[in-house]
Amino acid sequence: MSLNHTPNAERVHIGIFGKRNAGKSSLINAITGQDLAVVSEVSGTTTDPVYKAMEILPLGPVLLIDTPGLDDTGKLGELRVHKSWQILNKTDIALLVIDERQGISPEDEAILNRIAKKQIPCIIVMNKHDLMPENQKVSLPENIGFPAIEVSASTGYHIPELRELLTSVYHVPEEKFRIVGDLLSPSDFAVLVVPIDKAAPKGRLILPQQQTIRDILEADATAIVCKEYELRETLENLGKKPKIVITDSQVFAKVSADTPKDILLTSFSILMARYKGNLETLVKGVSILDQLKDGDRVLISEGCTHHRQCDDIGSVKIPRWVRNYTGVEPEFSYSSGTEFPEDLSSYRMIIHCGGCTLNEREMKYRIACSEDAGVPITNYGIAIACMQGILRRSLEPFPSISAYLENHKDL
Amino acid sequence: MSLNHTPNAERVHIGIFGKRNAGKSSLINAITGQDLAVVSEVSGTTTDPVYKAMEILPLGPVLLIDTPGLDDTGKLGELRVHKSWQILNKTDIALLVIDERQGISPEDEAILNRIAKKQIPCIIVMNKHDLMPENQKVSLPENIGFPAIEVSASTGYHIPELRELLTSVYHVPEEKFRIVGDLLSPSDFAVLVVPIDKAAPKGRLILPQQQTIRDILEADATAIVCKEYELRETLENLGKKPKIVITDSQVFAKVSADTPKDILLTSFSILMARYKGNLETLVKGVSILDQLKDGDRVLISEGCTHHRQCDDIGSVKIPRWVRNYTGVEPEFSYSSGTEFPEDLSSYRMIIHCGGCTLNEREMKYRIACSEDAGVPITNYGIAIACMQGILRRSLEPFPSISAYLENHKDL
C-alpha cells in the first residue's frame, strides 16, 4: 500500500473546527473508525492541533486536523483559539462541527465569516443528531452559503454521506501560473544567469533554475545559461536578441548593468513568487522598507537550517543592506527551518528567503499568517532588487504588478 | 553526531579477507570494540558478507566488510569464496588476515595476486601473534609488495598501529575526469538537446543534464538548452558556431542529422561514462553486438525499479533494436533495481542503463564483476549510438577512444 508514502503536504487538508463540546474528536473517530485506516497519528500538547493521515475515497489521501475549541478561555485558551484560526491558512476543506441542539454560536459565526473571506470550501456538520429532541429543529442563519448535514458521531448516522459531501465540495486547485513560459514565443531565447559560488550545490543546479529551464523548453523556446561574468560576451555572440534575461538576485546589479535596456530583465526569485501566486503580496510587503524606523522589529526567516545554500545572506548581507538603504537601525530577529513565530504581531515587517526547501503549502501558510497579523512580508530577491534600485525594471515583464508600482514611485 | 548520516557508498570500504580460521571476525571486533562505535550492523545469511559502519580517525567513516573464508569447500562454500572475490570490486583497502603460525597459504596468495592486479591498497595482518611460539618466525614470500603487521585480536596487540597503517595506505581517489569542461574554452557555446517526453521528471532536469550544465559554467562557457525540435533553428540563431552538441541518446538520429558535420556531437550517456572512467570498457563491450548469435543470452539491467524514468527502453526498445541491428534472435534476460545476478558467466553480453539512480561505487562494482566474468558490458546510450550508426561520430571528441575504433571499423 502506497498510502504511507504520500507526503503530508500533498494531502488534502481537512480542518475540523468547533466549540469544545461540539464533538470534533468523536467525529474524527467516527470517520476514521469505519473502513478507513489511520496510518499515522501525531499527538501534540493540548495547545497543538492533532493530525491524522488517512484515505477518503474518491477524495484520496487526506490529513484531518483536530483543532482546539473555539470557545476556550483564559490566557492559554486564547492562544489555542488563535492557533485554530491560523490552521485555516493550511486548510483545503473546513468542517465546522456544532452541537445540533445548541445551533450556531457567535464563535461559530466568527470563524464562518473568516472561512468565507478566505474562500475555503466548508461543510457545517450538525453533530449529536441522535440526542436531538424529536420536536426540536435547528435554525441556521439565513444565507449561510455552506452546505449543512445532520450527523451523529456516536451512532454513525450520515457519516458515509458526510464523506461523499467532502468529496463533492473539494475542487482540485488548478495550476494557474507558469514560471516564464507565458512570456515566451516558440524559438525565443531566454538567458539565465547562474553564479557559481560556494553557496551553489556541488555539481547541480538548484530547483528554481531547473524548473525555469524546464518551463522554457516546454514553451518551445531555448534556454541559454551562463555565469554573470560571461553574460556580456554571451549576449554579443547570440545571433538574435533574447526575449528576457533571468538572474540570481545576488548578482542583480551587475546583470542589470550588462543587459541592454531593450531586453526584459527579472530574477528567479520574482519568477518563483509569481509562479506560486505570491508576487503581489511580496511586492506590497517590500514597500514598508521606506517607512522603517529605528528599533522597528524586522524578522528575517529562512527555510533551511544549515545555512549551506543561503550562506550568510540572511544573517549578514540583508541586515547590512537594510541599514544602508533605510539609514535607520531596526532590531533584527531570525528564525530558520520549520520554526516560525506563532505570534507575529510585534514585527514591523518580515523578510523571508525564497523558501526553496519549504513546501508550497508551508510557504503559503506563512504568508497568510503574516497577512492575518497585518505584518507586511517580502522575500530576499524582491528586497534585494528594491534596495539595489532595480525592482521597477525587474517587474516590467508583469504589467499587473507594474500598475501597483505606479502608485509607489519611491520603490 | 553526524556519523549515522554518511551514506555507506561514501564510506571507505575495508574488505577483510582470509581463511576460515584466520580470525577475521575477531579482528573486526578488536577494531570496533575499542574507542570506536559500531553504528550499524547488517547480518546476512552465512553466504553474505557482514557490513559494519564505523569511524576510524583520521581516516573517517568506513565500512568494514567481513567476508566468507577463502578456503571454504563444497558447492555452497565455493559460492561463498566467489562472493569474497567479488567483494574486491567494492574494496578500497584490503586486509588479508592470516594465522601467523600458519603463514601464507595458496588461497591467500591467489587473492593477493588479484588484489595486486586490481591495484587495491592492502595490508597483511598476521593475527594470533600471542599464540606464536617464541622461537618460531613467520616467513612471508619475497617481494610481496604489501606492508605486513603482527597483531593479536584477542589481546589487542598492535591494533592501534593497524588503524594507523590503514590510514597511511589509503589514498583519497583524485577526481581524474571532467564531464565536458576539458573540451571547452572560455566563452565557447555548448548546445544541450533535452527531449521533454513522458519519461522526463515533471518540472525538473535529470542529474546528468544538471551536472553537464554546471560543468560547462565552471569552464566559463555558455550552455544552450533546447528540445530536439528546436535544435535546427537554435543553431541558425546563434551568432557563432557552438563547439559541441550534447544530446539525449534517444533522439541521437535526429540530432545527428540536424547538427552540421563541423560541430562535435556526443551524448550525455557517453559524457557520463567518460566522467566515471568507464567509457573505454563500455565501448569495447558494445563491439560484441556484431558477434551475437541466435540464442546468445543478453542481460539487460536497469538501476531503477519503477521504469518511470526509463520508460520501456530496456524492456521493449533495446531488444527490438538489437534484433533489427544484428538480424539474430538472442535470449534476453532482465534485472532491475539493486538486483544484479551473482553469476554472470552464462551471458554473452550485458547492456546496462546509464545508472543514474545507482551510486558510482555500485556501477563500478557491476562493471568490474562483468570484467572478472569475461562478459562484455555496455550501456544504453552507447548501444543506441552504435545501432544507429553514429557511435563513431559521437566518440570523435575523445581521441584515445577513437583510436580503439580504428581497429573496429565495423562499429
pLDDT per position as a tens digit, A290-303: 999 999 999 999 88
The continuous run of DSSP H or E covering A334 comes out as strand A331-336
Give how far A339 is from chain B: nearest CA, Å.
Answer: 22
The continuous run of DSSP H or E covering A409 comes out as none
**CA separation for the pair A31, A49 (Å, rounded):** 17
Q: Are A224 and B229 within 8 A, CB to CB? A: no
From chain A, pick out residues whose CB is under 8 angstroms from the CB of B205.
Answer: 205, 210, 213-214
From chain B, pick out residues whose CB is under 8 angstroms from the CB of A230.
Answer: 186-187, 220-222
Identify whether the C-beta of residue B169 lies closer than 8 Å to the C-beta of residue B123.
yes
Please give the pLDDT value at position B59: 80
Would you identify the CATH topology of the domain B8-169? Rossmann fold (3.40.50)
Question: Under an 8 Å CB criterion, which residues of A touch B?
Answer: 186-187, 189, 194, 196, 203-205, 207, 210-211, 213-218, 220-227, 229-230, 233-234, 236-240
Give how far A223 is from chain B: nearest CA, Å.
Answer: 5
From chain A, pick out residues whose CB is under 8 angstroms from the CB of B189.
Answer: 237
From chain A, pick out residues whose CB is under 8 angstroms from the CB of B188.
Answer: none
Pick from A10, A205, A211 the residue to mutate for testing the B interface (most B CBs within 10 Å): A205
The continuous run of DSSP H or E covering B19 comes out as none
Residues 6+ apart with CB under 8 A from A211: A179, A272, A275, B203, B204
Tell me the pairing of strands A50-56 and A40-42.
antiparallel
Question: Which class in CATH covers the domain with range A181-271?
Answer: alpha beta
Q: What is the mean pLDDT of residues A79-94?
A: 88
Kindly tell me if the per-residue pLDDT of A83 is higher than 60: yes
Please give the pLDDT value at position A331: 96
Kindly tell me if the per-residue pLDDT of A177 is higher than 90: no
From chain B, pick out residues whose CB is under 8 angstroms from the CB of A227.
Answer: 217, 220
Please give the pLDDT value at position A200: 67
Please give the pLDDT value at position B222: 98
From chain B, pick out residues whose CB is under 8 angstroms from the CB of A221.
Answer: 226, 230
Give how far B187 is from chain A: nearest CA, Å.
Answer: 7
Nearest CA in chain B to A186: B230
Give how far B61 is from chain A: nearest CA, Å.
Answer: 21
Please give the pLDDT value at position A81: 85
Q: What is the mean pLDDT of residues A14-40?
A: 76
Please give the pLDDT value at position B37: 36
pLDDT band at A5 (very low <50, low <70, confident <90, very high): low
pLDDT band at A310 (very low <50, low <70, confident <90, very high): low
Per-residue pLDDT tens for A352-402? 988 777 777 788 889 999 999 999 999 999 999 999 888 999 999 998 887
Please give the pLDDT value at position A74: 83
The DSSP call for residue B238 is: B
Q: Which residue has the higher pLDDT, B334 or A58?
A: B334
**CA separation for the pair A108, B360 (Å, rounded):** 59
**CA separation for the pair B320, B329 (Å, rounded):** 10
Give how far A170 is from chain B: nearest CA, Å.
Answer: 24
Give how far B240 is from chain A: nearest CA, Å.
Answer: 6
Identify whether the C-beta of residue B8 lies closer than 8 Å to the C-beta of residue B62.
no
Which of B207, B210, B222 has the CB atom closest to A234's CB atom? B222
Among A178-187, A317-326, B350-359, name the one with the lowest average pLDDT.
Answer: B350-359
Nearest CA in chain B to A237: B239
Per-residue pLDDT tens for A98-144? 999 999 999 999 999 999 988 899 999 999 999 988 887 777 777 77
Tell me the pairing of strands A50-56 and A60-66.
antiparallel
* Mean pLDDT per 10-residue interval, chain B, length 411 residues: 57 91 88 52 51 80 88 83 87 94 92 90 94 81 85 92 90 77 96 84 83 95 97 96 94 93 94 89 93 96 64 84 95 87 92 80 88 93 91 90 73 62
Which of B196, B213, B216 has the CB atom closest to A218's CB atom? B196
Please give the pLDDT value at position A48: 66
Please give the pLDDT value at position B370: 94
From chain B, pick out residues whose CB is under 8 angstroms from the CB of A222.
Answer: 224-226, 230, 234, 237
The interaxial angle of helices A268-275 and A207-218, nearest 10 deg, is 70
Q: Are A187 and B237 within 8 A, CB to CB? A: yes
Give how far B104 is from chain A: nearest CA, Å.
Answer: 46
Q: Which residue has the higher pLDDT, A259 or B6?
A: A259
Please give the pLDDT value at position B300: 94
- What ipTM goes with this model? 0.70
Domain ranges of chain B: 8-169, 181-271, 278-407
Please give the pLDDT value at position B99: 93
For the whole model, what pTM was predicted? 0.73
Nearest CA in chain A to B224: A224
Q: Are B230 and A218 within 8 A, CB to CB? A: no
Please give the pLDDT value at position B40: 40
Q: What angle do CA B80, B86, B92 make, to 5 degrees?
A: 125
Instruction: Choose which CATH entry (3.40.190.10, 3.40.50.11410, 3.40.50.300, 3.40.50.11740) describes domain B278-407.
Output: 3.40.50.11410
From chain A, pick out residues whose CB is under 8 angstroms from the CB of B275.
Answer: none
* Percent of chain A that is helix, strand, coil (3-state, to 5): 40, 20, 40
Please give the pLDDT value at position B177: 76
Please give the pLDDT value at position B123: 96
* Domains A8-169 and A181-271 alike in fold: yes
Per-residue pLDDT tens for B333-355? 998 877 888 889 999 999 998 87
Question: Under an 8 Å CB criterion, which residues of B touch A?
Answer: 186-187, 189, 194, 196, 203-205, 207, 210-211, 213-218, 220-227, 229-230, 233-234, 236-240
Please give the pLDDT value at position A313: 82
